Chains A and B, each alone.
Chain A
Amino acid sequence: MTVWIVLGVLAFVLMLMYNTLISHKNQVENIFASVDTVLKKRYDLIPNLVASVQQYMSHEKELLEKITQWRSLAMKPGVSDEQKISLDKQVTGALGSIMVAVENYPDLKANENVMHLQRTLLELEEQISAARRAYNQAVTDYNNIIEMFPTNFMANLMRYSRKAVFETAEHERKTVDVKVLFKS
């Protein structure tokens, strides 16, 4: 009798651990799907942006080529989550540089299409930033549970391994001053 009770309790604890691990893994995947959606929205803007600015931006040709390249890499099927994360970092940096460079071209600054793109990008950046932060929290919780006792044994058996987080860029921590950005 006692043996059965002990076995029952043990089975229950194992089930609880297993389910917790699964729910954490799924949370990470769900949120990554949302991150992916907003990232795609931003990638969709890139061809339009490049087309609008390239005739003016003679000094940033290389940068524009690179960003187009990264975009097509990210849009390829079968890209891993880790690759997407590292591509996002590069694209975010490059887009930032383009936006700064726009300031040097008075024609571009006054261009309505470019202005609209800038605003759309800014809004998307806010959404991406929120999605990244949600993803990072989900990954942190996941990484914690697979390394903490006693779930770490079960995680090992299930071959769960640590996942990478998005690095938060310093500028994201600062206040985005919309008024300054749109001052012409």
Chain B
Amino acid sequence: MAIGRRKRLSKLTDYFYNELHGDLKKLEVQRKELASSVLYVGLVIAFFASLLTYALLFKSTHAHSEADFLPLLAGGGLFFFIKKHMSSSYAYGFKEKIIRPLIKEIDEALQYHKSHHVSQSYFERSRLFRKEIDRYSGNDLVRGEIEGVKLQFSDVHAQYRSRNSKGNSSWHTIFQGLFIVADFNKHFKGRTAVFPDRAEKVFGRLIGSWLQKQNMQREELIKMDDPEFEKHFVVYGSDQIESRYILTHAMMKRLLDYKKRSKVPLYVSFSASQIYLALEHKKDLFEPTLFTSLLDYALIKEYISTLQLAVGIIDELKLNERLWSKE
């Protein structure tokens, strides 16, 4: 399996260089022009905002307050707004000319919707993140059916708002990264959730496992009989037996491999005949760079491998091997 996957990665890289490199070079020219004009706009805004702040702080006689720094804040906001506006056609070109053909090349059956995302109800149904969501956004939705398994994934950003004693609100990230939903090949009634194991890592096995047991927010703690898996993950579920029916030794090994390959924290849950995977990248994926070269090989590899990892769950977790009861 691993060999097959690597082969496909090299095949995709070949495809990228043969078919898309020309477009990428054109985009690189566009990027350089854009980067210098964005820089220019930035400098102009910074100059005027600093001038105004300077005047407010040192040249006026009113009582000074935090509000004197407002021009800097407004300048920053203005800059990001203009930057987004200026780069929209560049980002559009990148997604249409690079990301879309790449997804088609990975699998013909996949559809790409660059401004859609996995719906919030799926995200909530996974029950991986309990915090109430105040703002939910995302983009780059990919969906399709491969070997009878329905799959969809996208970039997702879920946030909540908090207010301090002065009534100022601030936004905090609940989750940002790749969110994947797919059909699961076994029947089950309850819920099982797999989280990165933080308690055991920090506090050691004995205290960590005791702390996990005290976690009232979650369901029953399920101790798994794979030491390597237990080291990286903690499992909660509604049924001791069902969770093990889902997480067979083979499945635990595959999830571990998947986690190692993805190199980011992995959350997995099983609910309502589906598997949900959340890969915490903490950044917006599939976006073109502005101030560094688009032609950088590491960058290209990241785009390809992230896409492939998402589509690859069907093969890697063997979701296409249906048990007779689900035929």
Contact = CB atoms under 8 A, between A and B. Distances in A.
A134 B241 contact: yes
Nearest to A178: B321
A94 to B, nearest CB: 22
A127 interface: yes
A168 B225 CA distance: 11
Contact of A137 (B225, B245, B324): B225
Contacts of A173: 249
B324 A123 contact: yes
Nearest to A175: B250
Interface in A22-47: 31, 34
Interface residues of A, number: 25
Interface in A92-120: 119-120
B240 A126 contact: no
B248 A130 contact: yes
Interface in A126-184: 126-127, 129-131, 133-134, 136-138, 141, 168, 172-176, 178-179
A130 B250 contact: no
A34 B240 CA distance: 10
**Per DSSP, are chain B's interface residues mostly helix, strand or loop, or mixed?**
helix
A179 B321 contact: yes
Nearest to B251: A175
A178 B322 CA distance: 8
A126 B323 contact: yes
Given A172-B249, A174-B250, A175-B250, A130 B244 contact: yes
A142 to B, nearest CB: 13
Nearest to B250: A175
Contacts of A129: 244, 248
Contacts of A137: 223, 225, 240
B201 to A, nearest CB: 21
B242 interface: yes
B244 A134 contact: yes
Contacts of A120: 324
Contact of B250 (A123, A131, A133, A176): A176
B295 to A, nearest CB: 41
B18 interface: no
A126 B245 contact: yes
B323 A178 contact: yes
Given A173-B249, A174-B250, A34 B241 contact: yes
A172 to B, nearest CB: 7
B239 to A, nearest CB: 9
Contacts of A34: 241
Contacts of A176: 250
A123 B244 contact: no
A153 to B, nearest CB: 21
Interface of B: 223, 225, 240-242, 244-245, 248-250, 253, 321-325
Nearest 8 interchain pairs by C-beta: A130-B245, A130-B244, A175-B250, A119-B324, A134-B240, A134-B241, A133-B244, A178-B321
27 contacts: A34-B241, A120-B324, A122-B323, A122-B324, A123-B324, A123-B325, A126-B245, A126-B248, A127-B241, A129-B248, A130-B242, A130-B245, A131-B241, A133-B225, A133-B244, A134-B240, A134-B241, A137-B240, A138-B240, A141-B223, A172-B249, A174-B249, A174-B250, A175-B250, A175-B253, A178-B322, A179-B321
Given A122-B324, A126-B323, 12 more contacts: A34-B241, A119-B324, A122-B323, A126-B245, A127-B241, A129-B244, A130-B245, A133-B244, A136-B225, A137-B223, A138-B240, A178-B322
